[in-house]
Structure 1
Amino acid sequence: MQAAVTDTINKLADTANHAAQQLAAVPDQELRFGDLLLKGGWVMVPIGILAILGLVIFFERYFTIRKASKDESNLMQQVRSSILTGNLESAIAICRNSNSPLGRMLQKGLLRIGRPIKDIEGAIENIGKLEVSKLEKNIGILGIVAGIAPMFGFLGTIAGVIKIFYDISKTDNISMGVISGGLYVKMVTSAAGLFVGIVAYVCYHVLNMMVDKVILKLETDAIEFIDLLEEPSK
């Protein structure tokens, strides 16, 4: 009886050891983000380029627009003081040295003093349009990235699915493991494309909102400047 029990215990121990060896032999199935991106295939290259392009444009435009949106109340006060004292040369020099969109607009208006107010308004408006165009430079590319990146992602997924079913037709292996194993890898391109597109879409509208604020501020300061020029004639 004791021998039978000992034999059973030995068999259980052998079974446990065998199971442990099998578990140890199973390869690590942990999903690594970097490996997953590499498995996305060639489509990940244009998606990556679009992502880098979008980030470069966003940060370059962000700091440019932020610089243009700085508070110019001190500039307006100095220009007002110079105009009220009749020192136009000083006002022009102040605007020139400011090196800002508002400064260039006011400088153009000051150089037109002596002409009808409509001419001064037109000159300021034209310079304002040029300054806004400079601020909006390359922002439209972010909109293009937001539209193209998801398309590249879907293209990669569709190409991957076509390849999966082509391989199935050649090997006649319709197992779920073959289909799902290849499909989840190809879906990476769709996820990457959508992610880049969403980020580019948000960045595009953030920059546009910043430009709109700058435009509103420039228009307000331009109106204040025109009112200042009309004060002596009232």
Structure 2
Amino acid sequence: MFEIIKAGGWLMWPILICSVMALAICIERIWTLRATKIAPKHTLALVWKWIKNKQLDSKKLKELKSNSPLGEILAAGLANSKHGREIMKESISEAAARVIHELERYLNTLGTIAAIAPLLGLLGTVLGMIEVFNQIGAASALGNVDSLAGGISKALITTAAGLTVAIPSLMFHRFFVRRVDELVVTMEQEATKLVEVVHGDREVDYSEVGKQ
């Protein structure tokens, strides 16, 4: 492995750094963007249970807020529910904006790595080919086909390395963007149900409450 990195030249090091960063981001986002952590299934049913039993107080709101990002959004709405539907919805939107920002953390970095890794590889190849043609310009290199072939092979190493980093980075970037979109839709639906229940536009499904 070290020989391949050495053969690719100094541009292999930034490509290697990109690969380490991409791997770290992917592992962190896979762990963080779990549906069970972001939007636990029975969070809204738990809130309905508190409302039914008249247990909803500041302590419960604090517990809800710390429970999950979905809980944070619902807690923001409940804390301002007495001020009317519009204020409640605005509070939910503000909390959701903060949560979404956290869900999208590092995704821009991962996308940037997916974009620049092949460019770094291409740059390394171009620089390597320049060296090869400089050798061709030297009279001593004209009769040494093996030397030229080896030089071209080394020049292509950085392109291969760049693509090896970029392809999985792009795939995971799109996967995480899709995952965030799905989580946001789920949280929006739960928040909408909460607003409708609190303001009497929807009946509480207490069959869900019983599953708690």
**TM-score, structure 2 normalization:** 0.86
Deviation (angstroms), 1:69: 4.8
Which residue in the other structure is 1:10 paired with?
Answer: none
Q: 1:85 aligns with which of 45, 53, 74?
A: 53
Of 134, 151, 167, the match for 1:182: 151
Note closer, same or farther for the CA distance 1:216–1:41 as it changes in structure 2 (3 Å cut).
Answer: same
- Give 1:47's aligned amino acid: I
Aligned structure 1 segments of 4 or more residues deviating by more than 4 angstroms: 67-71
The change in CA–CA distance for 1:97 and 1:186 in structure 2 (over 3 A counts) is closer
93 and 130 in structure 1: CA distance in 2 versus 1, 3 angstrom threshold: closer
Q: CA deviation at 1:193?
A: 0.6
1:209 Cα deviation (Å)?
1.1
Task: State, as a whole percentage, how many aligned pairs show the same letter.
Answer: 26
Q: Which runs of 5+ in 1 are unaligned?
A: 1-32
Contact 1:146 1:197 in 2 (8 A): yes
1:228 is aligned with what amino acid?
Answer: V
Change (3 A) 1:97 1:188: closer
Offset, 1:34: 4.9
The structural deviation recorded for 1:93 is: 4.4
Matched, 1:75 2:28: no
Q: Is the 8 A contact 2:121 2:162 kept in 1?
A: yes
Give the 3 Å change call, closer, same or farther, for CA 93–190 of structure 1 in structure 2. Answer: closer
1:60 Cα deviation (Å)? 1.3
Give me the whole-angstrom Cα distance separating, in 2, the residues matched to 1:75 and 1:110.
13
> What residue in structure 1 maps to residue 180 of structure 2?
211
Of 198, 203, 208, 2:167 maps to: 198
Aligned residues: 201
1:157 aligns with 2:158: no
Q: What is the SS of the residue equivalent to 1:231?
A: coil
1:182-208 CA distance string (max 9 Å, x none): 101211111001111111111111111
Shift of residue 68, structure 1, vs aligned partner: 6.2
How far the C-alpha of 1:94 sits from its partner, in A, is: 4.1
Q: What amino acid maps onto 2:169 in structure 1?
A: A
Matched, 1:60 2:34: no
Task: Report the RMSD for the aligned CA atoms in angstroms.
Answer: 2.1
Structure 2 gaps of 5+ residues are 204-212
CA distance in 1, matches of 2:37, 2:182: 8
Aligned to 2:17, which of 49, 54, 58?
49
Between stretches 144-153 and 36-45, larger displacement belongs to: 36-45
Indicate whether 1:135 and 2:108 are aligned: no
CA contact under 8 A between 1:79 and 1:94: conserved in structure 2?
no
SS in 1 for 2:99: helix
- Residue 108 (str. 1) matches residue 76 (str. 2): yes
Contact 2:39 2:70 in 1 (8 A): no
So what's the TM-score if we normalise by structure 1?
0.79
Comparing 81-90 with 145-154, greater Cα deviation is found at: 81-90
2:81 aligns to what SS in structure 1?
coil
For 2:46 and 2:77, how far apart are their aligned partners in 1?
15
Q: Which of 81, 88, 111 does residue 120 from structure 1 map onto?
A: 88
- Shift in alpha-carbon separation, 1:88–1:231, aligned structure 2, 3 A: same
More moved, 159-168 vs 87-96: 87-96
Q: Contact 1:101/1:131 (CA < 8 Å) preserved in 2? A: yes
Partner of 2:115: 147
C-alpha contact 1:75 1:94 (8 A) present in aligned 2: no
Deviates more, 1:86-95 or 1:125-134: 86-95
Rg larger in structure:
1
